[in-house]
Amino acid sequence: MPEGAFADGPVLVTGASGFVGRHLTREFVRGGARVRGLVRPGSAGLEAGVEPAPAGDLLDRVAVRRACAGVHTVVHLAARVHVMRDTAADPLAEFRAVNVEGTRVLVEEAAAAGVRRLVFASSVKAVGESTPDGCWTDAVEPRPVDPYGISKLEAEGVVRAVAGAAGMHAPILRLPLVYGTGVKGNMRTLFAAVRRGIPLPLGGIRNRRSLLFTGNLVAAVHAVLAAPAAARETFFVSDDHDLSTAELVRGIARALGRRPRLIHVPPALFRAAGAAGDLAARFAPVPLTTAAVDRLLGSLCRDVSRLRALTGYRPPFTPGEGLREVGAGFVKG
What are the pLDDT digits (tens) for 132-174?
A: 878 999 999 999 999 999 999 999 999 999 999 999 999 999 9
35: closest CA among 19, 44, 47? 47
C-alpha distances out from residue 102 to 61, 159, 291, Å: 9, 11, 30
Residue 79 CA to residue 31 CA, distance in Å, equals: 25
The reply to whether the predicted model has a pTM over 0.85 is yes
Q: Quick one: pLDDT at residue 1? A: 38
Q: Which residues of the chain have pLDDT under 70?
A: 1-5, 83-86, 333
Percent of the chain past pLDDT 70, that is, above it, reads: 97
Residue 42 CA to residue 37 CA, distance in Å, equals: 14
Q: Which of 6, 19, 120, 148 is catalytic?
A: 148
Q: Quick one: pLDDT at residue 44? A: 79
Phi-psi category of residue 257: left, alpha or beta, with phi > 0 → left and psi -120 to 50 → alpha = left
Beta 117-123 vs 73-76: how paired, if at all? parallel
What are the pLDDT digits (tens) for 108-134?
A: 999 999 999 999 999 999 999 888 878
- Our answer to whether residue 179 is catalytic in this structure is no
Percent of the chain past pLDDT 90, that is, above it, reads: 81
103: closest CA among 128, 123, 83, 89? 123
